[in-house]
């Protein structure tokens, strides 16, 4: 039987990423040749612009594939001028998309500003009419070909039904060894709370943890663990401070962050962390090692533009063997 796939479920979009010297002032123009010094203060300049395939689940599938996993993205792909762009880009990164529905709709976009001065990324996202996956989407897939399905924290009602279906199939077929993980990224969205009890592995963002009143990663995973399934693992990355996880027995493990020589591009760092963590856990590695690897890979990614330099950088540095 061919190697089983790891599937990420969610959205794909076009990221229009603008790399600027500093975040623009309101009502100003920033171009490639804008002056860096102006009377009375600092100027600004667009250092680079890239059009990339984006979306949380899409990015995580890319990183999983770059790390050597047999990865598949599952989500709606807009049928139109950019269909071939998406398909060719996924193909270049060896991510399967053969089972994705192609739908007549405008392409979702994320306009991103990356500030060299602060290292921040600011995103304005728009999805006019690309439908989310229907609740019965997974019923069309051969679940026996997968050993891990990861759900991006969106399309909540339908994701709940998809997970319910996968669980029912696992109960009927004991030989179906399939792990479910979910991501809660956006803060102050009460409907996301239902996701806590869906996965064997649950990823929550720093923003979600802070919106629940927690001010550090250890207390966050310890305090929110009761919302998850018995036997599950709750993981929370905390940016430059590293990451923490609460294990099935209630114990907490942590990892320090990995700092690159310089911060170049933070777009997709969280998606990279999730992918690297899943990559380790799929191999049967302990959670503390998965956390360390995820921090290393995400930190390395922050030091480069995009994801494709990662395999060579990680190989040359030997960081994955830490």
Whole-number Å distance between alpha carbons of 102 and 130: 10
Whole-number Å distance between alpha carbons of 88 and 96: 11
pLDDT, residue 41, reads: 60
CB 166 within 8 A of CB 180: yes
pLDDT, residue 189, reads: 83
pLDDT, residue 37, reads: 64
Structural domains present in the chain: 5-24+43-321 (3.40.1190.20)
CB 3 within 8 A of CB 100: no
CB atoms within 10 A of CB 31: 9
CB 83 within 8 A of CB 90: no
Cα 204–208–209 angle (5° rounding)?
80
**pLDDT under 70 in the chain at which residues?**
1, 37-41, 319, 321-322
CB 1 within 8 A of CB 43: no
pLDDT in tens, 147-198: 999 999 999 999 999 999 999 999 999 899 999 999 999 988 888 999 999 9
pLDDT, residue 312, reads: 92
Whole-number Å distance between alpha carbons of 54 and 59: 6
pLDDT, residue 18, reads: 93
């Amino acid at each position: 039987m061919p190697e089983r796939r790891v599937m990420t479920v969610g959205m794909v979009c076009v990221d229009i990423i603008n790399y600027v010297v500093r975040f623009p002032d309101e009502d100003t123009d920033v171009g490639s040749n804008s002056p860096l010094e102006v009377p009375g203060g600092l100027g600004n300049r667009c250092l680079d612009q890239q059009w990339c395939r984006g979306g949380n689940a899409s990015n995580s599938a890319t990183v999983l594939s770059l790390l050597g996993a047999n990865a598949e993205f599952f989500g709606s792909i807009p049928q139109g001028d950019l269909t071939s762009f998406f398909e060719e880009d996924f193909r270049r990164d060896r991510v399967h998309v053969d089972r994705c529905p192609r739908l007549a709709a405008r392409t979702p976009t994320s306009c991103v500003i990356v500030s060299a001065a602060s290292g921040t990324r600011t995103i304005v996202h728009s999805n006019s009419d690309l439908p989310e996956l229907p609740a019965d989407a997974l019923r069309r897939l051969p679940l026996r070909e997968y050993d891990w399905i990861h759900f991006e924290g969106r399309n909540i009602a339908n994701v709940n039904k998809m997970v319910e279906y996968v669980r029912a199939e696992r109960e009927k077929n004991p030989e179906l060894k399939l792990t479910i993980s979910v991501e809660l990224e956006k803060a102050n969205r009460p409907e996301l709370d239902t996701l806590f009890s869906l996965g064997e592995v649950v990823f929550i963002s720093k923003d979600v943890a802070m919106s629940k009143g927690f001010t550090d990663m250890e207390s966050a995973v310890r305090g929110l663990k009761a919302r998850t399934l018995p036997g599950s693992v709750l993981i929370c990355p905390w940016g430059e401070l590293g990451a923490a996880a609460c294990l099935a027995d209630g114990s907490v493990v942590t990892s320090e962050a990995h700092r690159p020589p310089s911060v170049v591009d933070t777009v997709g760092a969280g998606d990279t962390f999730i992918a690297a963590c899943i990559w380790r856990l799929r191999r049967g590695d302990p959670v503390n090692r998965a956390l360390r690897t995820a921090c290393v890979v995400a930190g390395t990614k922050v030091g480069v533009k995009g994801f494709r330099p990662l395999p060579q950088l990680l190989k040359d540095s030997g960081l994955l063997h830490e």
